[in-house]
Amino acid sequence: MPIDLPTIWAAIIAFAVLAYVVLDGFDLGVGILFPFFPERRDRDVMTNSIAPVWDGNETWLVLGGGGLMAVFPVVYATVLPALYMPIIAMLLGLIFRGVAFEFRWRTARGSSWWDIGFCLGSLVAAFTQGIAVGALVQGIEIADRAYAGGWWDWLTPFSLVTGLAVTVGYALLGATWLNLKTSGDLQARARRLSMVAGAATLVLIGVVSLWSPFIDQVYFERWFGWPTAFFSVFVPLLLAVCAIGLWHGLTTDKHLQPFLAALGLFVLSFVGLGISFYPYIVPGALTIEDAAAPDSSLAFLLVGAAVLVPVILAYTGYAYWVFRGKVDPGEGYH
């Protein structure tokens, strides 16, 4: 059987996007939660908990975008113009929150302004990413390899709800991350916020899951027709397991478990999207096969990705391990 390069690449891109969502998700979430931690001291600890890793986290977004251009150029060239305004807003949001890590330390009086920039930037980035998901689910109009819709097509009640869902979900990831990385009063507050954000996330996952099958007949059949209905039992079941894991972890003061459970919620939602989309990469418009670049491009980049992605995962893991443990705002240990 010949190697199906487009499918392999669809899997790699999906992995890059998922890696981005869960990794940058928690550090964006920390920014979203800033209003709940007004003290400068708490905010220092919060930013320090993500400062060593945010840069690597965001690189997955560049891999998702750059990789898409390389292996599915027509998707890159149609989805980005379709999402012109949300993408620009996301980029501007990422600028503010990216520089805020450094800038808030460089000024005493201006630091609260950079805190606001960090929080708003994180919020905007999260919300627009959610909008992008919603816009993709509801479909993008493509004619002759180009975007053929209008400038506001992305703006619908559904995309606003997915925007909200992703924002709240990121807040959950951020809160459980802080629960993992901090101690004392800060952790206690992070744990309470995790409960609130966790409940809200589950409700919103439910709303989006029940809504999307009615957007398109294809999704409906995918989820309620046989044999794929198997998944529509399987995914909610696993979601329930994660929800229980989250709740149990938070109520018994576990530190790692709630974070892992929150990650699980994201992974499952992402798998759910994949089930709805396959074999399309832009639902209703482009299949994985249609959109793929020539095999010469796919094969050339695959050689590198096959070797490098595991290496990257290894040293990224190492970097997380080096900075493991609680961020201690008090006495340091050496």
Partner 1 sequence: MDFGLTAEMLARIQFAFTVSFHFIFPAFSIGTASFLAVLNALWLWKRDEAYLQLFEYWKTIFAVTFGMGVVSGIVMSYQFGTNWSVFSDRAGAVIGPLMGYEVLTAFFLEAGFLGIALFGRKRVGDTLHMVAVAAVAVGTLISATWITSANSWMHTPAGFSIGADGTFIPEDWWAIIFNPSFPYRLTHTVLAAFLTTAFAVGAVGAWHLLKSSSNRQARIMFSMAMWMAALVTPIQIFVGDQHGLNTLEYQPAKIAAMEGHYESHPEGAPLVLFGLPNEAEQRMDLAIEIPKLGSLILKHDPNAPLEGLDAFPADGRPPVLVPFFAFRIMVGLGLLMLAIGLWSLFERWRKTIYTNAWLHRAAVTMGPSGFVAVLAGWYTTEVGRQPYTVYGLMRTAESLSPVDAPAVGASLMAFVIVYFLVFGAGVFYLFRLFRRPPVLNEDHELDRGPHRSAGINPGPAQEDTIREGAGHAD
Q: What is the footprint of partner 1 within residues 174-213 (CB under 8 A)? A: 181
- Could you say whether residue 334 binds partner 1 (CB under 8 A)? yes
Question: How many angstroms separate the CA atoms of 13 and 148, rounded?
Answer: 24
- Give dist(CA 209, CA 237) in Å, integer: 13
To partner 1, the closest distance from the beta carbon of 137 in angstroms equals: 19
C-alpha radius of gyration, the chain, whole number: 20
256 contributes a contact to partner 1 by CB under 8 A: no
Q: How far is the CB of 72 from partner 1 (least distance, A)?
A: 8
Least distance from partner 1 to the Cβ atom of residue 297, Å: 4
Smallest gap, in angstroms, from Cβ of residue 10 to partner 1? Answer: 15
- Interface of this chain with partner 1, residues 77 to 96, rule: CB under 8 A: 77-81, 84-85, 87-88, 91-92, 94-96
If DSSP codes are grouped into helix, strand and coil, which group holds residue 143? strand
Comparing CB distances to partner 1, the nearer of 55 and 253 is 55
Inter-CA distances, 83 with 116, 180, 201, 202, 238, Å: 26, 35, 24, 26, 32
Name which position in 3, 11, 38, 55 contacts partner 1 (CB under 8 A): 55
Phi, psi of 241 (to 5 degrees): -60, -45
Contacts of 296 (CB under 8 A, 6+ apart): none
User: Based on CB atoms, which residue is closest to partner 1, 2 or 332?
Assistant: 332
Residues contacting partner 1: total by CB under 8 A: 81
Three-state SS at 183 = coil
Among 4, 11, 106, 240, binds partner 1 (CB under 8 A): 106
b (16+ CB within 10 A) / e for 155-179 = beebbebbbbbbbbbbbbbbbbbbb
Does 128 bind partner 1 (CB under 8 A)? Our answer is: no
Considering the rule CB under 8 A, would residue 105 count as an interface residue with partner 1?
A: yes
* Three-point CA angle 151, 153, 159, nearest 5°: 125
> Least distance from C-beta 314 to partner 1, angstroms?
9
| Binds partner 1 by CB under 8 A, chosen from 30, 42, 47, 201 | 47
What is the CA 329 to chain-centroid distance, rounded? Answer: 28
Q: Does 215 bind partner 1 (CB under 8 A)?
A: no
Question: Segment near partner 1 (CB under 8 A), from 98-106, 229-237, 239-247, 281-289?
Answer: 98-106
Strand partners, 143: 146
The values of phi and psi at residue 282, to 5°, are: -115, 110
Stretch of 105-113, 164-172, 196-204, 221-229 contacting partner 1, by CB under 8 A: 105-113
Asked if 297 touches partner 1 (CB under 8 A), the answer is: yes
Is 71 an interacting residue with respect to partner 1 (CB under 8 A)? Answer: yes
Interface pick for partner 1 out of 21, 34, 49, 166 (rule CB under 8 A): 49
User: Using the 8-state DSSP alphabet, how is residue 51 labeled?
Assistant: T
Binding mask of the shown chain, residues 306 to 325, with x at each position contacting partner 1 by CB under 8 A: --xx--x--xx-xx--xxxx
CA gap 134, 282 in Å, rounded = 12
